[in-house]
Amino acid sequence: MARYLVQASYNNSAIQAFTQHPQDRTQAVKTIVEHFGGRLEAFYFSMGDHDVVAIAELPNDVTATAMSLAVQTAGHLRHYATTKLLTEEEMMEAMTMSHGLHYPAPSRD
């Protein structure tokens, strides 16, 4: 299975709901990840640009996209981003595949 970094930010309506009815979203996130055949590896609330950061193992990119669509349909997020993570071995394989290849930059003339 592939790993994905998910970063999300709540909209004002969700933030108001949290302040009126404090709630931990970990179980809801775990449930949706497991519905798609995955495993929630880490889930954190965070400060800064994103309110939530998670790492999930999912079967493939199509599944990660389906989960993204399902989660965003609820309408409580103002931002949602999925980033596929590569293992060291996968990155080494990619570097080996690209070794020695030359891709010319666009010409300025």
- What pLDDT was estimated at residue 99? 93
Position 81 in a domain? yes
Domain that holds residue 66: 2-97
Alpha helices per DSSP H over 1-109: 12-20, 26-35, 61-73, 88-98
Q: CATH no. for residue 69?
A: 3.30.70.920
The tally of domains found in the chain comes to 1
This prediction's pTM: 0.86
Buried b (16+ CB within 10 A) or exposed e, 74-103: eebbeeeebeeeeeeeeeeeeeeeeeeeee
Position 104 in a domain? no
Position 106 in a domain? no
Going residue by residue through the chain, which has 109 residues, state the pLDDT in tens, using 9 for 90 and above. 999 999 999 999 999 999 999 999 999 999 999 999 999 999 999 999 999 999 999 999 999 999 999 999 999 999 999 999 999 999 999 999 999 998 889 988 7
